[in-house]
Structure 1
């Protein structure tokens, strides 16, 4: 029954927050749309990361290929064009000047086409002692510069190699206006077998451009592969998600039918109790109450009727979405009334909340009242339901919620004991915490020894189905 709230119920003190509101804890149906979007985004990011990493690696590989190509081109030029144009006079300091000039002119004519094509910025022919025997830059001819270890090794082993030019060196002073250069060198031989070193300088930008072409080809292949994989993966993933969702709906329908069957059986049992034993015992109690000699027996029978009606409420409890939240809370307080406690339930006329939120309130009040009956040694229990938004005692994560308080005037207890849900004998407290956690709501406790107890639950009005 509904009664007046006890105005002298003792207050315990500062409430203790046992569970903070957190909407991320809410349970319910799997958000398949967000799952699909998340998987696609993860695939895109992962594919892009793989393709980008592969592209960067290919850049280095492509640069290596381009350097090797430049080296190979220089070696071919030296073997096919330069070496056949050499005469002994070009490297013989004792040869007449006219013959040396003719030898240099012969070499210049041989490589003129390459120079005109722009494939090389500069060409040089070195003697083993570092003397420049010929160059397309005449001012270098006859000058002597020390050869590096790589140059000498190329002369000794008759191999080709390449490296980025150090334009700070004096022998490269006439190439400084062309930007970074790649110098490739190859040993060549005069008809008499004297080893000379041929060098060709290419623009390094050309090497980078060739590397970029290779990198672009690899990037197109890599990203194209990722796009094809996604095009095949997304429909398959969508099909799997639809199958999973269909299976989930089938399970939900089966569960709903099972619950409907259980509810129907409970209604039948409750009706049988109401129309049979309850009516018979109530009638017998009424007839015995008229005789003073059987007053005690009548009182016992009335208590039995109250107990049976409490059992009927347990068998067929009122559903908040069907019978109203007030009726459902009245039902769950039947145990307290049967135990002789003065109970009061205050619920707004209209409560705008999801069925899951209403069910959470009913579960919470059932457990809290059961704790009062079992442990509190109280005489009064009061249930209050209201609505609220963010406030000093409500976590800001809850935009709007149902606030339900269960207050008793019992013996109370040390609130810190409730912070250890693993302690034996505190199953009821654990269940209250789980209701708050399942809905993403908050739970507060206000109690102290000898000061009564107040439980306060805040549930989001849009809470989803409890697990």
Structure 2
């Protein structure tokens, strides 16, 4: 039949893809293992996110603790050690050189223990004009540098503060090489009441070490919490998954029993028709056919017998798993043959596919042939089934390609894609079969060029609604 429609195919043009193949649409068993792994991964990712956020927070907290500790330590050093060791000569430019040297030596002796203990890397004493009055780095003494706004505020308000040192500043050139430093400053006063600024530089690696400790503690807490949650959640999740799966199996068993009961009832009805009315009418037709006067009535009765047998086929259709896909599709085409259409069915002798895939093929052909009988005004309908490898090669992603063609009047394919068109339930059912199996649906048609429907259904489809 396909060989007689080359011109029609050319007229139909490029196939219109109504449903694209998408394995994610396939209905089937829920991959519970993947669900469980996904939950565990989500929990671990969440724990990592919490730990990362906690690390950033702990860094800020550690810096805050370090600044606070440096501020309080420097304030205590300034009040308890530095300020009692100050004399007016240290800040008096008119004082004799010997007195100023003695004042600096006195301050150096007072803080020597702190410097030897390593609690500070550098110490400085500033005048309000930015002159370095004393430092454990003698080369800085007497140099003048502009004081920052924070330094001036500390002098005026008699408060202490701390910040990370900017080692690129010229007054900090001798501190370079010690790594990042934290500088803290505190206002002190000479016996005469003159305000000076005491500044101590501490190593910043203590801040980093403290932040690392906090990060480690927070990460341990975060992942420990995630571990406890997983230990409590996974058994509960497994129990719920088992319950859901058990319910799914129970529904499948109920559906199977319902289908078995329906099939048994269909077989009983078919048997009753065959053993009762069909045999009676067939016998009557045989007896009437012997008399020339009643041959017309006998012919009518024989037509009635054919109709009854067609009804029997519809009531008890061949099952693709029991009777073979070819026999099932031949039964599906009985309606077309009864309507006077020439039908042909081409199916491979061996079709390896799941029962759901075979059922999808039968449903598709049934709906497509019903559309031909109802709408196509055709004289020929051709059904072909072929196996084809998927995109990943034979055996992986393989599909059954089902083609239903007719030589009818055809139609405008745009109508098949219109979302608000009235009727066309058959087209909707064809779409649903493709969508339920994760397959694809193509349409080739044009006015006067016949119609071809082509379904590609994965051979390993597990379930069909």
TM-score under structure 2 length normalisation:
0.90
> Which SS does the other structure have where 2:404 is aligned?
strand
1:266-322 per-position Cα deviation (integer Å, ceiling 9, x unaligned): 211111111111111111111112222222222222222222222222222111001
Shift, 1:452, TM fit? 2.6
Q: Structure 1 residue 389: deviation in Å?
A: 7.5
Summarize deviations over 1:197-226 as a string: whole Å, max 9, x none.
111012233333333332332222223222
Instruction: Give the whole-Å Cα distance in 2 for the aligned partners of 1:170 and 1:362.
Output: 89
String of CA shifts for 1:75-124, please: whole Å, max 9, x gaps: 12112222233334433445554444333323222211211122211111
Does the aligned pair in 2 maintain the 1:128–1:196 contact within 8 Å? yes
Asked if 2 retains the 8 angstrom alpha-carbon contact of 1:22 and 1:397, the reply is no
Native 8 Å contact 1:17 1:445 kept in 2: yes
Q: Residue 3 of structure 1: CA displacement?
A: 17
**Per-residue deviation, residues 41-74 of structure 1 (Å, max 9, x unmatched):** 2222222122212212321232222122211211
Partner Cα distance (1:421, 1:282) in 2: 49
What is aligned with 1:358? 358
- Whole-Å Cα distance in 2 between the matches of residues 426 and 175 of structure 1? 86
The answer to whether the 8 Å contact 1:9/1:409 transfers is no
Q: Is the 8 A contact 1:23 1:397 kept in 2?
A: no
Sort the Cα spacing of 1:5 and 1:253 in 2 relative to 1 into closer, same or farther, 3 A.
farther
SS at match of 2:34: helix
How many residue pairs were aligned? 460
Is the 1:367–1:432 Cα contact (8 Å) retained in structure 2? yes
SS of 1:3's partner is helix
Contact 2:434 2:441 in 1 (8 A): yes
Provide, for residues 182-202 of structure 1, a one-character-per-residue CA deviation record: whole Å limited to 9, x for no partner.
Answer: 211011223443322111012
- CA separation of 1:8 and 1:308: change in aligned 2, threshold 3 A: farther
For each residue in 1:107-151, what CA deviation from the matched residue of structure 2 results, as whole angstroms up to 9, or x when unmatched?
A: 222211211122211111223333333211223333343333222
- Take 1:276 and 1:9, find their aligned partners in 2: how far apart are those partners? 48
Aligned counterparts of 1:187 and 1:198: Cα–Cα separation in 2: 6
Pair 119,304 (structure 1): closer, same or farther in 2 beyond 3 Å: same
**1:316-345: CA deviations, max 9, x gaps?**
211100111111112111111222222222
Deviates more, 1:53-62 or 1:326-335: 53-62
Q: Which moves more between the two structures, 298-307 or 350-359?
A: 298-307
Cα 1:4/1:306, change in 2 over 3 Å: farther
Following superposition, the deviation at residue 12 of structure 1 comes to 5.0
- Give 3-state SS (helix, strand or coil) of 1:378's partner: coil
Contact 2:405 2:452 in 1 (8 A): yes
Deviating more after overlay: 20-29 vs 265-274: 20-29
CA contact (8 A) 1:2 1:343 kept: no
Q: How does 1:161-172 map to 2 (within 5 A)?
A: 161-172=161-172
Instruction: Assess, with a 3 A threshold, how the Cα gap between structure 1 residues 14 and 127 changes in structure 2: closer, same or farther.
Output: closer
Is the 8 Å Cα contact of residues 406 and 455 (structure 1) preserved in structure 2?
yes
What displacement does 1:179 show?
3.3
SS of equivalent residue, structure 1 residue 254: helix
**CA, structure 1 residues 245+189, in 2 after alignment: closer, same or farther (shift >3 Å)?**
same
- The CA distance in 1 between the partners of 2:76 and 2:220, in whole Å, is 32
What is the distance in 1 between the residues matched to 2:181 and 2:18?
72
CA distance in 2, matches of 1:6, 1:98: 118
Question: Could you tell which deviates more after superposition, 103-112 or 32-41?
Answer: 103-112
Change (3 A) 1:388 1:6: farther
Q: Gaps spanning 5+ residues in structure 2: where?
A: none
Maintained 8 Å contact 1:125/1:135: yes
Preserved CA contact (<8 Å) 2:384 2:402: yes
Distance across 2 between alignment mates of 1:99 and 1:138 = 17
Q: 1:406: which partner in 2?
A: 404
- Deviation string, structure 1 residues 141-171 (Cα, Å, up to 9, x no partner): 3334333322222122111011233334333
Change (3 A) 1:327 1:10: farther
Q: Counterparts of 2:455 and 2:393 in 1: how far apart (Å)?
A: 13
Q: How far has the Cα of 1:348 moved from its partner?
A: 1.7
